[in-house]
Amino acid sequence: MKKILIIADGDIGEHFIRRIIATYTSENIYYVVQPKKVEYENVNSARFKFYEFDSTSFYKLANLLKMDFVQVIITMQTQIDIENTIKNIRMVKKKLPVVVLDSFDLLNEDPNVVLINANEILSSKLLDHLPNVPVIAQNIGLGEGEIMEVLVPFGSSFVYKHIGVIEQKNWKIVAIYRSKKLLLPTRRRMIHPNDLLVLVGEPSVLKSVYRSIKQELGQFPEPFGSNIYLYIDMKLDDDENIKKLVRQAVFLHQKFKHELIVRVINPNSFDTLRYIKDYLDDNVLLDISYKYSDFNELFLNDIKQYHVGLVIVSKDMFSSYDIRIRLYESRIPVLKLSDKTLKSVKDVSIILSDNRDLEKVASTIYDISEQLGYNIELYNYLNEHQENKEQVIEHFYNLSTIFSKSIKVIKEKRNPIRVLKQKDDFIHILPFTDKLVSRRIFSIFSDDSEKLYYKLDSYHQIFIPV
């Protein structure tokens, strides 16, 4: 049986004792010291012993401390009473654990005294009721923010995503509350608007996750990264194409309103370098590697250093098998630019396939189309199996309601690739899967539109990792 000493006065002390009476464990005996007698209801006299005296009196308190207490809890109204009570306890018991409700920002050098800051607790509780502020568990774990709950808003990039497609590194979704019911997370469980997620992980990581969940349209390339990155190899692209790449990248930089980094390797034309420097404004970072470099040498370092969320390359660079593998391994969206101008683009065109990978990147597609001011077109090839396609179309319709952005579903009996070749004003978006990594020669006889992405090589294409 553990003996616990409670020294209390005032309203908070009385409320605390009532809570203990209602919730106490049968394994403890509570010795309660108060300056004035207070009547409590439903008290178990075998578990509670009440004393009426001033705890600042060393003589009276010393007699009580002759018993073997495992802990002392102090909640008193004045700072001088708390300090003198602790001093009296230490004259008798040097290492007895003491917990103090501190409303006065007390100074403490005693390792066996724990100060619970009342002002911090109250302000934290009020903070929990503010909108768009994460609720952090205070009395579980370390209480430092490693357990957090987040309400998923309409328009979040997490809405209608399966938990299995969300990368959870150094954090986890451990519970979902929907309509006041607990749902245990599985890979196939889908997140809905107004779901309350319970997250566990590194506090610094959870802060970033919280911001990602709360973000609505207009955040791309988040959550993949913060910045746009144009990679130019002057050995691979001719001067005129490089100038076009720079102009297109600046156009996107102005649309997305994220920082632009231009990486140039293997410079071989001072005139072209001068054009790049003159065209870029002071807000764009130009990083030139004057010594011989290959893609693998700089790319991964740049991705980490510049926190890249969108990589821009030329179609010649993307056609390289080795470079395409590195781009795929980076798990970052890639924009492959063609010779056409982005300013004339009006539509985002998507070819539906038999799998449901498009469902995993749908919210990102909406974000891109919203920021660039493009319409969304879904091309459904009717000669293929329709079950998975219908589910993807339904998913896009759900998102169109949430984001208030209409979509157009085009049913085609002809191969959509042939149909799109007759258009000029679109950008093709598709999931960046391992299908795109294989050498093109192996897909010559394939009827998979994703494997045949290069048939639309003369158009802009965005590849989004799933």
Domains of the chain, residue spans? 2-121, 128-214, 227-337, 342-465
Which strands, in side-by-side order, build the sheet including 135-136?
135-136, 147-151, 196-201, 171-178, 181-183
What is the gyration radius of the CA atoms in the chain, in angstroms? 32
Of 24 and 460, which is predicted with more confidence?
460
Which pLDDT score, from 0 to 100, does residue 194 have? Answer: 86
Which pLDDT score, from 0 to 100, does residue 451 have? Answer: 84
Which pLDDT score, from 0 to 100, does residue 128 have? Answer: 67
Contacts of 295 (CB under 8 A, 6+ apart): 231, 233, 265, 317, 320, 322, 323, 326
pLDDT bracket for residue 165 (50, 70, 90): confident
Question: In DSSP terms, which residues pair with 230 in a beta bridge?
Answer: 262, 312
Instruction: Kindly report the pTM of this predicted structure.
Output: 0.60
In this structure, what token pair is assigned to residue 6? Answer: 């409670």
Range 242-269 average pLDDT: 91
**Identical topology for domains 227-337 and 342-465:** yes
CB atoms within 10 A of CB 81: 17
- Quick: pLDDT tens for 33-71: 999 989 998 888 888 999 999 999 898 999 999 999 999
Q: What is the dotted CATH code of the domain comprising 227-337? A: 3.40.50.620
Distances (CA, A) of 15 to 3, 11, 48, 122, 446: 20, 6, 15, 15, 74
Topology classification of domain 2-121: Rossmann fold (3.40.50)
Which pLDDT score, from 0 to 100, does residue 261 have? Answer: 94
> Closest Cα partner for 436 from 464, 459, 396, 416?
464
pLDDT bracket for residue 24 (50, 70, 90): low
- Quick: pLDDT tens for 288-300: 988 866 777 788 8
pLDDT tops 90 at residue 223: no
- As a whole number, the mean pLDDT across the chain is 87
Q: Are residues 53 and 29 in contact, defined by beta-carbon separation less than 8 angstroms? A: no
Name the 3-class secondary structure at 312. strand
Return the H-helix or E-strand segment holding 176. strand 171-178
Contacts of 252 (CB under 8 A, 6+ apart): 228, 260, 310, 312, 335, 342
Q: Which CATH architecture has domain 128-214?
A: 2-Layer Sandwich (3.30)
Q: Which CATH architecture has domain 342-465?
A: 3-Layer(aba) Sandwich (3.40)
Which pLDDT score, from 0 to 100, does residue 217 have? Answer: 67
Angle formed at CA 18 by CA 14 and CA 21, multiple of 5 degrees: 140
Question: In DSSP terms, which residues pair with 7 in a beta bridge?
Answer: 33, 74
